[in-house]
Structure 1
Amino acid sequence: MTFIPLSPCCLTGGRLTGTPRGIYRPADDERQVGRYHTTPSNESVVSDKVAMVLYTDFFCLALPNPKIMADAFADALGINVFVPEYIVDPPSVDLFDSVAPLYPGQYASRSMFTSIYMFGQVILKAWRWLPAMFSPKKQLPLAQASLDEIVQEGYTKIVIVGYCRGGAMVQHLLSNSKNECLVGGVICHPTPEESTWSNITKPTLWNLADQDQMFGIKDIDHLKSTFEAKEGVEFQCNVYKETLHGFATRPTLDHEPTKKAFEKANSSAIDFTRKLLFE
């Protein structure tokens, strides 16, 4: 199946364009965590007891991509999809564009001087976010609260999907035994939260980049050996060639392997979620 057909009219510089159809509700007296909530475009929900919760990258809802992707998940699965605003005061979505390539070799022609200068400029702008960026657990309380609030609304079977920083949240949430409503998770190009792996006993699907500076080949090998040694724990791991960190949430038309990996990773997430929720 097709997840989101990519064409020049719907994609610019890794940012999906379009108009999200869901509803955003900020935090208030009733809810600790703001969130985006979307349903199938045909208004036909298969079950009001199952849901997907999508945990975004560090830019949270400042980038339109997670909302548009949530709409696509809702249509494909016929379920409610939530995107929690679990990161407070995220950085500008273009803050790291000059030093974070979307695909291998994008900045290969730059001189060393230019690269150093670009990094320096980014550090000057990004320094106040760096502590939070290097400490995933700082966002975990709100990620957990957002899940608790959804459970309190009556959802009994939930699949969680996470990208980048959201992938770290999925690892931590799945490792917490109190989250009985979780039936599994999809983890896309995260940081390797190795301390959680021994406690994850529910099905997981991992979509990883083969050139990820945050989750290298040694991490991938360690992940596989850890989970493959577990008996009776479903584990799937896809490693996409010629891709970098972020490929599953910020695709680009300028690089065919990245574009294909975006499609395959999210289509596999749909198949995996459907099996866990309905089979």
Structure 2
Amino acid sequence: MSFIPLSPCCLQGGRLTGEPRGCFVPANDTQKVGRYHAKPSDGVIVDDKVALVLYTDAFGLGLPNPKVMADAFADQLKINVFVPEYIIDPPPVDVYDPVAPLYPDQYAARSWGTTIYMIGEVLWKTWRWLPMLLFPKKQVPLAQASLNDLTSEGFEKVVAVGYCRGGAMVQYLLANQANTTLVGGIICHPSPEKSTWAGIDKPTKWHLADHDQMFGDKDIQLLKNTFQKKVDEDRSKFECVVHQDTVHGFAARPTLEHEPTKKAFDEANASAIDFCKKQLLARE
């Protein structure tokens, strides 16, 4: 079953369209981090002590995608789904389009001069966001606080799914042994936060792109080598899928024009449904 059926009417240039039906709850005296909250459309929640938390890419809630996806997760799992606002003042969603291809070799015919000019223009427009983009650990405190919010509200089991920068957050959260409520994570095309890997001992499933400058072939092999001992002890602890003919961002901002990306988007998020059924709802 498809995660979100994609057609020309619902996907435009990597943006999922449609009106999110959940609600955004800003930070307050008892909730430290603002968040989007999605519930099943029929109102039926099968377990109000479990939750899925979706950590967005660096564009935060600026795109409709994480909200639309949270709604889809809520409908298919029948649980509460939250999207924390752990990135304050994210960069504009379109600013990196000239240098961030949606599929491999999209800009292969571009001259070196044009490429250098485009990179310079993007850097000029985004210099004030560079510290945030270059240092993922700066967002960890708010990501952690958003998880603490759920624990304090009585949620007993949480799965985190993270995309791009959100995937980095999931690595840090899983490596924190104090996060006993967090029972596992789905990590999609993240930056390789290698310092966290030794501390991750909960089930994870990784969805990586085979053309990702942030997570290259050497990083993928190192990841597999690092987790091999854990796999030998318990195969459920680690799974890694490298999606062919894809680039960074495929699981959060797919492009309709590229069939392998559409396929990878669907597979990554459908697998998150299966993962949550096993880890949160004890169903195969």
Q: TM-score scaled by structure 1?
A: 0.98
Partner SS, residue 241 of structure 1: strand
1:113 equivalenced with 2:113 (yes/no):
yes
Q: Name the residue aligned to 2:66.
A: 66
Matched letter for residue 267 of structure 1: A
Distance 1:228 1:66 in 2: 32
Q: Name the residue aligned to 2:244.
A: 241
Matched letter for residue 194 of structure 1: K
Partner SS, residue 273 of structure 2: helix
Partner SS, residue 205 of structure 2: strand
Q: Deviations over 1:119-142 (max 9, x none)?
A: 111000011111111111000000
1:92 equivalenced with 2:92 (yes/no):
yes
Q: CA deviation at 1:27?
A: 1.6
Q: CA deviation at 1:109?
A: 2.0
Q: CA deviation at 1:97?
A: 0.7
Q: Which moved more, 1:67-76 or 1:223-232?
A: 223-232
Alignment of 1:234-273 (within 5 A): 234-273=237-276
Distance 2:27 2:225 in 1: 41
1:142 equivalenced with 2:128 (yes/no):
no
Partner SS, residue 28 of structure 2: coil
Partner SS, residue 280 of structure 2: helix
Partner SS, residue 211 of structure 2: coil
Q: Which moved more, 1:55-64 or 1:223-232?
A: 223-232
Distance 1:19 1:109 in 2: 37
Q: CA deviation at 1:28?
A: 2.5
Q: CA deviation at 1:201?
A: 0.6
Matched letter for residue 222 of structure 1: L
Q: CA deviation at 1:103?
A: 0.5
Alignment of 1:1-279 (within 5 A): 1-230=1-230, 231-232=233-234, 234-279=237-282
Q: Deviations over 1:86-111 (max 9, x none)?
A: 01110100010111011012112212
Distance 2:38 2:151 in 1: 16
Across the aligned residues of Structure 1 and Structure 2, the Cα RMSD in angstroms comes to 0.9
* Long gaps (5+) in structure 1: none
Distance 1:226 1:101 in 2: 30
Distance 1:150 1:245 in 2: 29
Q: Deviations over 1:114-168 (max 9, x none)?
A: 1111111100001111111111100000000000001111100100000000000
Matched letter for residue 52 of structure 2: M
Q: CA deviation at 1:31?
A: 2.1
Q: Deviations over 1:55-113 (max 9, x none)?
A: 00000001110000000111111100000000111010001011101101211221221
Distance 2:64 2:57 in 1: 12
Equivalenced residues, count: 279
Q: Deviations over 1:218-270 (max 9, x none)?
A: 10101111111122361011000000000000001111101110001111111
Matched letter for residue 241 of structure 1: Q
Matched letter for residue 261 of structure 2: T
Partner SS, residue 92 of structure 1: coil
Q: TM-score scaled by structure 2?
A: 0.97
Q: CA deviation at 1:30?
A: 2.9
Distance 2:69 2:258 in 1: 20
